[in-house]
Structure 1
């Protein structure tokens, strides 16, 4: 029989969050406890990566709840696949359906369904974004960087070529960025 590793995670966004609740449920049930203090959406969770790399065949990862392991279906499925590829298992205390310690057909089925729902959710999000952009374009919304005000740019160029002011002073007076000013100067010198 392998080792049992516990994994806990709390978000850094909420200062009042502590590991106490998770720790109380895991202590006494695990050989070693790993924990990260960061958003579940972040890919690079050092303690999770360390735990996953130390897994061996027959080991079990015990978590309190699925949302403590991952915030996205895709990420969860990748973690589960990593655990399974090591010959290890995953078990959740609160999500009783999530138990890969034995050949549990219901657990496999629900993971497959979650994967399909995750793909569908991503596809729907992409579709909604495309539709939103199209509606916005039809209403006249312009996308991309706003064009610089020609009057301001011309005034900035006049000041630049007068040589009386520094570039910083010109940008402060006109509100034209240094990048825009230098780009226009290069265009004039190249085409002039």
Structure 2
């Protein structure tokens, strides 16, 4: 009988996300846990790659849900093929239909369909965000870092070139960050 490996993933974009929910469902059911804190759309996830390379015949990969493994149908199918090529299998706790321990054509079909639905959901979310940003911009909402006050920057540059104050002192006096001052100085070179 092979080992059971758990894989968890959370997005880096959402600070409020933790591994707690996934970990609670996997602990006690796996021999070792692997986890990545990065987007599921990223292909190069170090812990996933490490887990896949350590798989042997008879091992099982246990996940909480299909979207924790991948957000791309193509990537998902490649991961599943890698697992199968190693002689291992994949099971999901929440997606009970996902169980490659036996040759089940329905499981393969559902894997493809559900992977495609997950990818479509991600694409729709991205589209909604773009539409929301566009509407906000049309209403005058500004995105990105606010522009530094040119008068303050010019004053900071004058103080810097006078060679009487440190960068920190100039930053405190003018309210211009040290990074902004250094970027401006770099632009002069």
Structure 1 residue 50, shift from structure 2 partner: 5.0
Structure 1 residue 141, shift from structure 2 partner: 1.9
Structure 1 residue 130, shift from structure 2 partner: 1.5
Q: Which runs of 5+ in 1 are unaligned?
A: 187-192
8 Å contact 2:160–2:170 — kept in the other structure? yes
8 Å contact 2:71–2:118 — kept in the other structure? no
Structure 1 residue 132, shift from structure 2 partner: 1.6
**Aligned pair in 2 of structure 1 residues 13, 180: CA closer, same or farther (>3 Å)?**
closer
Bigger radius of gyration among the two: 1
Structure 1 residue 47, shift from structure 2 partner: 7.2
Q: Which runs of 5+ in 2 are unaligned?
A: none
Distance 1:14 1:142 in 2: 22
Larger displacement relative to structure 2 (134-143 or 29-38): 29-38
Distance 2:140 2:118 in 1: 33
Off by >4 Å, runs of 4+ in structure 1: 1-51, 57-78, 92-95, 182-186
Q: How does 1:114-125 map to 2 (within 5 A)?
A: 114-125=114-125
**Aligned pair in 2 of structure 1 residues 133, 96: CA closer, same or farther (>3 Å)?**
closer
Larger displacement relative to structure 2 (115-124 or 161-170): 161-170
TM-score (normalised: structure 1): 0.61
Q: Deviations over 1:84-121 (max 9, x none)?
A: 12233224566432221222122112101111112201
Distance 2:143 2:11 in 1: 34
SS of 2:90's partner is strand
Q: Deviations over 1:51-100 (max 9, x none)?
A: 53243445544567768867987775554232112233224566432221
SS of 1:148's partner is coil
Distance 1:103 1:159 in 2: 74
Structure 1 residue 146, shift from structure 2 partner: 1.8
**Aligned pair in 2 of structure 1 residues 116, 9: CA closer, same or farther (>3 Å)?**
closer
**Aligned pair in 2 of structure 1 residues 157, 113: CA closer, same or farther (>3 Å)?**
same
Q: Deviations over 1:143-169 (max 9, x none)?
A: 333211122223223323433322221
Cα RMSD after superposing both structures? 5.4
8 Å contact 1:74–1:118 — kept in the other structure? no
Aligned pair count reads: 186
**Aligned pair in 2 of structure 1 residues 111, 145: CA closer, same or farther (>3 Å)?**
same
**Aligned pair in 2 of structure 1 residues 116, 55: CA closer, same or farther (>3 Å)?**
same
SS of 1:61's partner is strand
SS of 2:143's partner is coil
